[in-house]
Structure 1
Amino acid sequence: MAWDLSVDLIQATVQLEQPLGDGSRTVGTGFLIENPTPDGRPRTILVTAAHVFDKMPSASAKIGYRIQSADGVWRYDPHTLKIRDGDHPLWVKHPTRDVAAIEVEAPPEFAKAAIPLAWLAQDDTFNKYSLGPGDEMMALGFPRGLSANPAGFPILRSGRVASYPLAPASVFPTFLMDFSVFPGNSGGPVFMAQGARRRPGSTESQEVQFVAGMLTQQVELSGERLEIGIVTHAKYIRETVAMLDKLAGPPLIQASPAKPVVPSTQAATQAAAAVSVTAIAVSR
């Protein structure tokens, strides 16, 4: 049976939310990565866009786990996730990109759904598969806090790569994707899952499945949404996760102060998908 990255990422993707005092809530998306500590201790890491946490003023948020019963029925089972100790953030933030990571204690059955860090794209992945403008990628998220069903699974959408060149990530840290971005999408994984793509320079086909990056922003011009998403390369997710290994003492310490992020691909942008949205009747 062929490996299906889409299903694995759906299982690893969660909704993040925090109610606000005015009846609205802040909503974002995150996904779980399996990455043992340097000494081999099992560890589950939640990654999301840094502005998702920045826009949550309270000390705790809700992380939308899902539990499957013995009869196979899924149910939504959100847990409390502590993200601050007073004014002290418990996540790490990439120094230059809109990416955050925090170690979490996921339920055992959900920890198994975390994807290996190795599934994230490397610096040479785009060139290896000769990827470029027009290639289709998929994205998972919770647009305006909506889920695919009462069990709280994310909504899968697709779009095409809309910018060139894509690499190296150190020069082009973000790329554009042609699809609509809504509040709640930020922090969701963007990935490629093709079972049969022609191998460069050959008539043979190859399986292409990897996480390309994370949706972090939308493009706006003069207040108009252009239905273009900005994706931060997986390289910066890897670097943010690595920051957890460099911490001394407790695994979660204060991150550096958040700074505005202006993607090199488009100056006229607005941090999009973790904003305060009016309360929505989301089927649960």
Structure 2
Amino acid sequence: MNIDTIAKMLFFATVRIENHGAKSASVGTGFIMTASLENGDQCPMLVTNKHVLAGAQQLVAHFIPRKPEANVPDLGQAVAVDLPPTMYVGHPDPTVDIAVMPLAPTLLLLANKLFIQALPLSLLATELPDLYTDAIEEITFVGYPNGHRDPMNFTPIARRGITATPLQLDFGGKPMFLVDGSVFGGSSGSPVFLFNQGTYRSGPNVITAGSRIALVGIIAQTMLRNAQLPVAEEVAATAHVKFAQELNIGIAFNAKAIKESIELMVSSAGQHLATAATGDGVTELSPA
């Protein structure tokens, strides 16, 4: 598989995270980002949710290796990498479910063995001041819903939906927005993109030819409602059973909250992000 389009790159920006706790195990999603520091270094990091990492006695991230003779993925193979369970920084607001883990120490010996398409910080919507967004936008998110992935190639699953609340508004006064899309356990930590190919709306009455991609958020939760529905008497003695019903509405924290979490992680290490030139909201990635 030649990684010659942006869409293909997105399948190699995420990792499947296994959290092995004292009494149970869970699966979530994380994505790899990289940022330039003032001292000139590059800072690779894992971005996910706090709850994906919480309570872990062992954290395992599953990467796809690269072929030794070329910078292409070795599909059908997987590399399990142990991550330090407590070496992450969470967003300072306890209600903002974002965690960032520095990856430089972990990847130092593995960088040439893993096929990673890290998302640059410049892809964040906060870094694209001319990015136009309407109240309803199509979104793409990539991850491991219910822990699922391609069982042969180990690649994640891409899904699409729309913004259910405007990206410009903080839903409920928090740095988040709602998505109209099927969000299940395991999707937690999935990156959310505006990803348009061919044309995109760059103004209220302007259609631009080309493509654009922007990282606008991170999936954190799915909305449920409790319902009481009748069941057959031969199945249960009671007339109704109470259960949680998914609404196909997900909660995502926005790019601003991601940026704040990254800044805190970097500053906690005594460093500062480099001041970068901002873009205009068009494609910022280049295939390997």
Q: Same fold (TM over 0.5)?
A: yes
Per-residue CA shift, 1:66-86, capped at 9, x if unaligned? 1133476321111111122xx
Closer, same or farther in 2 for the Cα pair 1:248/1:80, shift >3 Å? closer
- Following TM superposition, by how much is the alpha carbon of 1:178 offset from its aligned partner in structure 2, in angstroms? 1.2
Aligned to 1:220: 224
Which structure exhibits the higher relative contact order, with contacts defined as CA atoms closer than 8 Å and separated by 6 or more residues? 1
Query: 61, 64, 69: which one pairs with 1:63?
Result: 61
1:2-151 alignment runs, 5 A limit: 4-20=5-21, 25-54=25-54, 56-58=55-57, 60-70=58-68, 73-74=74-75, 75-84=77-86, 90-96=87-93, 97-104=96-103, 105-106=106-107, 107-109=110-112, 110=114, 113-122=117-126, 128-133=131-136, 135-151=137-153
RMSD: 2.7
Supply the distance in 1 between the matched residues of 2:149 and 2:4 (Cα, whole angstroms). Answer: 24
Q: Letter of the aligned partner of 2:14 in structure 1? A: T
Aligned to 1:199: 202
- Following TM superposition, by how much is the alpha carbon of 1:177 offset from its aligned partner in structure 2, in angstroms? 1.1
Give aligned pairs, total. 239
- 2:122 is paired with a residue whose SS is helix
Tell whether the 8 Å contact from 2:30 to 2:46 is kept in structure 1 after alignment.
yes
Supply the distance in 1 between the matched residues of 2:220 and 2:97 (Cα, whole angstroms). Answer: 7
Per-residue CA shift, 1:253-276, capped at 9, x if unaligned? xxxxxxxxxxxxxxxxxxxxxxxx
Runs (4+) of structure 1 exceeding 6 A deviation are none
- 1:11 is paired with a residue whose SS is coil
Identity value in percent:
28
Tell whether the 8 Å contact from 2:64 to 2:115 is kept in structure 1 after alignment.
no
TM-score, normalising length: structure 2: 0.74
Supply the distance in 2 between the matched residues of 1:250 and 1:199 (Cα, whole angstroms). Answer: 35
Closer, same or farther in 2 for the Cα pair 1:220/1:93, shift >3 Å? same
Identify unmatched segments of 5+ residues in structure 1. Answer: 85-89, 252-284
Closer, same or farther in 2 for the Cα pair 1:217/1:159, shift >3 Å? same
Tell whether the 8 Å contact from 1:76 to 1:150 is kept in structure 2 after alignment.
no
Tell whether the 8 Å contact from 1:8 to 1:115 is kept in structure 2 after alignment.
no
Identify unmatched segments of 5+ residues in structure 2. Answer: 227-243, 273-288
Closer, same or farther in 2 for the Cα pair 1:6/1:131, shift >3 Å? farther
Query: 178, 184, 187: which one pairs with 2:186?
Result: 184
Tell whether the 8 Å contact from 2:194 to 2:216 is kept in structure 1 after alignment.
yes
